[in-house]
Amino acid sequence: MKIKNKTDFNKGIIINRQDPTQPVVSSNSKIKNILIPFAILLLIFSGIIYLYISVIAYYPTGVLVKNEITLGFTVAGRIKSIFVNEGDAVVVGEKLASLDRSLINSELTMAKKSLALAEAQLLEKKEQLRIQQQQLLNNYNDKLLMLKVKEAELNSDSSQNKVSLKRLSEEIKGSLREVERLKHLVSDNVSTKKQLDIATTKYQSQKKELEQLVVAIKRDQQSYNAAVTRRKEWEQKIISPKYNLLLEPNIKKLEQAKEKLKLIKEKIKEMTIYSPVNGVIGKSFRLPGEITEGGQTVIKIISAAGGWIEAKIKEEKVNDYKVGCKVRLTSRRENKKYSSMIEYVAPTVQQHISVFSDIYTHSQMIKIKLPKDCNLPFGATFDISLE
């Protein structure tokens, strides 16, 4: 029995007349079933390659650049002289340019005069205080001598007051005995009342003189005690800390004059540019007679010490590249490998726009120390990898 098949090309299904209920898949469907898994595998493989290139195998490109140093004045002024020309070789400390100093020289002269005047005034004030101190010392010594004499008088048994006190004491005792004797004689009518009155008056007079002498002795003692107190005050005046306080205005004036002179001298130093390195003058941006502002570039030097390798690191990778990190450099020109280290990482992120699209990227610049054995020309490129 012959089996007849009829193909429905519109539906892409072969109908088996023998079993019309059983559909058969065409060759086009088979191709689709093969291509779809292949496409999925291709996408996965591409993703793995992209992940490896962008994340795992990240090799930024570095360029060997010149070590160019830009120099300028830190203060504004008129340029007086440019001592070098483009292409001249210079050494460390060589004078390159200077500003006109006519105005600041006048300020320098005035500052020196002010300093000399302040120093002279301070010395004069010190001499005045020295003389005053000497006068106080002399006065103190004189008063101290008088005090010692007074002390000796008070403590001596031969002092006038003590002798008078002893004499009066004896005389009073005698006068008192005489009064008592006359009282008995008057009571016995042997002596007259007049003689008793005379003796009594003499006794009272001597007693009053004695009281006055005692007051005088006490007064001398009080005077001595007061002199002892004043001696301490004199000593305080001689060694008084007010001496430095009296000098303080002159010392302050002298310090101000010194500080002003120091600032002017520092400004004068800043009015001359010296070469910080050995190298070659790359370019001069100013001419004598022109006005320059502080911070403007006047001269550019290319250092003889060589340059460095500069690279831009993706923002998301910059944390891996720190100062001091060791790196491996692979020269694209000769495929030679060098070892070096990162010397500088820029503190800020830079924004860049792609040449082929409007997409912005962000990166940070790093500087890598030039290996000593690298003699490639400026502009040479390197692949950079962390060691």
Q: What is the DSSP string of 174-206?
A: HHHHHHHHHHHHHHTTSS-HHHHHHHHHHHHHH
CATH class assigned to 69-100+271-305: mainly beta
**Per-residue pLDDT reduced to its tens digit, 249-298:** 999 999 999 999 999 999 999 999 999 888 889 888 889 999 999 888 99
Q: Is the CB of residue 284 less than 8 Å from the CB of residue 259?
A: no
Closest CA to 88 of 76, 96, 80: 96
Rounded distance, CA 51 to CA 68, Å? 38
What is the pLDDT, as a whole number, of residue 30?
Answer: 60
Higher-confidence position of 125 and 189 = 125
Residue 306 Ramachandran class (φ > 0 left, ψ -120 to 50 alpha, else beta): left
Rounded distance, CA 291 to CA 122, Å? 42
Residue 154 pLDDT > 50, yes or no? yes
Rounded distance, CA 257 to CA 46, Å? 76
Instruction: Give mean pLDDT, residues 54-77.
Output: 79
Q: Indicate the domain borders of the chain.
A: 5-50, 69-100+271-305, 105-257, 307-387
Rounded distance, CA 24 to CA 91, Å? 92
Residue 183 pLDDT > 90, yes or no? no
Residue 335 pLDDT > 60, yes or no? yes
What is the pLDDT, as a whole number, of residue 262?
Answer: 94
What is the pLDDT, as a whole number, of residue 28?
Answer: 59
Mean pLDDT is lowest, of 14-28, 104-118, 251-265, 358-372, for 14-28
Residue 55 pLDDT > 70, yes or no? no
What is the pLDDT, as a whole number, of residue 27?
Answer: 56
Return the structure tokens found at 89: 């070789």
By percentage, how much of the chain surpasses pLDDT 70? 76
Overall size of the chain counted in residues = 387
| Architecture (CATH level 2) of domain 105-257 | Orthogonal Bundle (1.10)
pLDDT band at 238 (very low <50, low <70, confident <90, very high): low
H or E element in which residue 139 lies: helix 102-155
What is the pLDDT, as a whole number, of residue 174?
Answer: 85
| Architecture (CATH level 2) of domain 307-387 | Beta Barrel (2.40)
3-state DSSP assignment of residue 352: strand
CA 209 vs CA 161, 177, 213, 275: distances in Å: 12, 18, 6, 101
Amino acid making up residue 89? A
What is the pLDDT, as a whole number, of residue 260?
Answer: 94
Mean pLDDT is lowest, of 7-11, 26-30, 144-148, for 7-11
What is the pLDDT, as a whole number, of residue 159?
Answer: 64
Instruction: Give mean pLDDT, residues 96-101.
Output: 93
Closest CA to 26 of 18, 15, 37: 15
Rounded distance, CA 90 to CA 281, Å? 7
Q: Is the CB of residue 331 less than 8 Å from the CB of residue 379?
A: no
Residue 52 pLDDT > 70, yes or no? no
Mean pLDDT is lowest, of 30-34, 168-172, 308-312, 331-335, for 30-34
What's the predicted TM-score (pTM) here?
A: 0.47
pLDDT band at 172 (very low <50, low <70, confident <90, very high): confident
Residue 15 pLDDT > 50, yes or no? no
Looking at the chain, the number of H-run helices and the number of E-run strands are: 5, 18
Residue 45 pLDDT > 60, yes or no? yes
Q: What is the mean pLDDT of the chain?
A: 79
Higher-confidence position of 361 and 136 = 136
Residue 98 pLDDT > 70, yes or no? yes
Closest CA to 299 of 100, 76, 77, 83: 83
Closest CA to 99 of 293, 328, 277: 293
Higher-confidence position of 69 and 159 = 69
